[in-house]
């Protein structure tokens, strides 16, 4: 991934060159949009949603219609974390839910709202065996806490930290100063860091977020990097990427919520879906 592309993503997230319509839905409006979306999907009434005529809808990178979504197998939401960015017009939620068959799933949904209509629906649906409900229900309130005003990073500073994070997924030279030593990363409820038995990444057992991406790794580069939400009040950034795995045809689309305190990444809530045949997320801006 070329550095200039990642930097451009950061500039976008800081609100430069944004159309006025992207900011027409404030935080309360975006949160209400997410609530209505969940209700419509649970009730199997997506026709009641205010979708744009050219809405783009993708689930696990594949183009779908909403009635084709795996949401149709969900009977109840058990926990949720919802984040909004009026400047970018995005609302993103991570939802732990129970299917009709009693299975726990973890769902990331991003809705983009322009001129009062949903123009993009991006769903990351993890119904695999590694979804760990005990770390998802209830949703960790730490992510939603408000950062004291005198301890907040600016929008530009938050964007820069996550821009460097994605660059580190490519060159495996993370910037140590960007990480709290206690930082933990969770994949659909599984704690990957400071956990030698995580079953997903090999490590020493005491690797944190910084160490887990330092030096030779089987993944990279990170492509199509995007920042969808920046919330300085809560120290939150949400980023997306398609992660390559060497010469393999397998790719992982990642959707990560970062909690940043005192200028350091403190916790990451990731939905990472590894599949064959991923060529693009479908959303590259």
CATH number of the domain where residue 252 is located? 3.10.450.50
Residues 112 and 234 in one domain: no
pLDDT of residue 247: 79
Q: Mean pLDDT, the chain, as a whole number? A: 89
Residue 90 lies in a domain: yes
Query: What distance in Å separates the CA atoms of residue 120 and residue 52, rounded to the nearest whole number?
Result: 9
Whether residue 159 is contained in a domain is answered as yes
For the stretch 60-97, pLDDT in tens is 999 999 999 999 999 999 999 999 999 999 999 999 99
Asked whether residue 94 is assigned to any structural domain, the reply reads yes
Distance of CA 110 to the CA centre of its chain: 8
pLDDT band at residue 201 under the 50/70/90 scheme: low
Structure tokens at 64: 């779908």
Domain count of the chain? 2
Please list, in sequence order, all residues whose beta carbon lies within 8 angstroms of the beta carbon of residue 247, skipping any fewer than 6 positions away: none
Nearest one of 188, 36, 173 to 105, comparing CA atoms: 188
Phi, psi of 139 (to 5 degrees): -65, 135
Whether 207 and 107 map to the same domain: the answer is no
Residue 246's pLDDT band, with cuts at 50, 70 and 90, is: confident
Domain match, 93 and 126 both: yes
- pLDDT exceeds cutoff 80 at 204: no
| Residue-level pLDDT at 2 | 42
Query: Strands 104-114 and 62-63: what pairing?
Result: unpaired
Nearest to residue 160, comparing CAs of 68, 266, 263? 263
Is pLDDT at 111 greater than 60 in this prediction?
yes
Of 135, 165, 197, which residue sits at a domain end?
Answer: 135
**Band of the pLDDT at 4, cuts 50, 70, 90?**
very low
Q: What is the pTM of this model?
A: 0.89
Full residue range of the structural domain in which residue 7 is found: 3-16+146-276
Q: How far, in Å, CA of 180 to CA of 214, rounded?
A: 15
236 and 95 housed in the same domain: no
Q: Are 113 and 27 in contact (CB under 8 A)?
A: no
For helices 3-13 and 155-171, angle between their N-to-C axes, nearest 10 degrees: 150
Report DSSP state, residue 165: H
Q: Are residues 113 and 169 in the same domain?
A: no
Q: Label residue 245 by pLDDT band (50, 70, 90).
A: confident
Q: How far apart are CA 49 and CA 71, in angstroms?
A: 15
Do residue 10 and residue 55 come from a single domain?
A: no
| Token couple for 176 | 């140590």
132-189 pLDDT per residue, tens: 999 999 999 999 999 999 889 999 999 999 999 999 999 999 999 999 999 999 999 9
Q: Are 270 and 254 in contact (CB under 8 A)?
A: yes
pLDDT at 198 over 90: no
Alpha carbon distance, N-terminus to C-terminus of the chain: 15
Segments of the chain assigned E as strands: 51-59, 62-63, 74-85, 90-99, 104-114, 117-126, 179-187, 190-191, 222-231, 236-244, 250-261, 264-276
Domain boundary among 67, 102, 135: 135
| Domain co-membership, 116 together with 10 | no
């Amino acid at each position: 991934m070329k550095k200039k592309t990642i930097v451009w993503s950061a500039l976008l997230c800081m609100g430069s060159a944004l159309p006025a319509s992207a900011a027409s839905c404030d935080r309360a409006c975006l949160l209400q949009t997410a609530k209505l979306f969940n209700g419509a999907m649970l009730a199997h009434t997506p026709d009641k949603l205010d979708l744009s005529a050219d809405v783009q809808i993708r689930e696990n990178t594949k183009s779908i219609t909403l009635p084709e979504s795996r949401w149709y197998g969900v009977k109840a939401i058990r926990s949720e974390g919802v984040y909004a960015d009026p400047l970018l017009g995005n609302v993103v939620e991570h939802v732990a839910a129970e299917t009709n068959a009693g299975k726990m799933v973890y769902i990331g949904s991003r809705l983009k709202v322009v001129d009062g209509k949903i123009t993009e629906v991006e769903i990351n649906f993890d119904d695999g065996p590694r979804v760990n409900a005990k770390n998802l229900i209830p949703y960790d309130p730490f992510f939603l806490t408000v950062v004291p005003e005198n301890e907040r990073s600016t929008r530009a500073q938050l964007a820069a930290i996550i821009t460097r994070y994605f660059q580190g997924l490519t060159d495996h030279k993370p910037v140590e100063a960007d990480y709290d030593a206690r930082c933990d990363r969770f994949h659909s409820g599984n704690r990957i860091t400071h956990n030698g038995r995580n079953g997903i990444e090999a490590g020493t057992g005491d690797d944190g977020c910084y160490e887990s991406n330092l030096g030779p790794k089987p993944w990279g580069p990170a492509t199509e990097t995007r920042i969808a939400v920046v919330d300085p009040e809560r120290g939150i950034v949400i980023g997306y990427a398609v992660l390559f795995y060497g010469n393999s045809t397998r790719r992982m689309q990642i959707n990560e919520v970062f909690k940043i305190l005192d200028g350091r990444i403190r916790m990451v809530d990731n939905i990472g879906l590894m599949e064959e045949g991923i060529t693009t997320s479908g959303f590259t801006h």
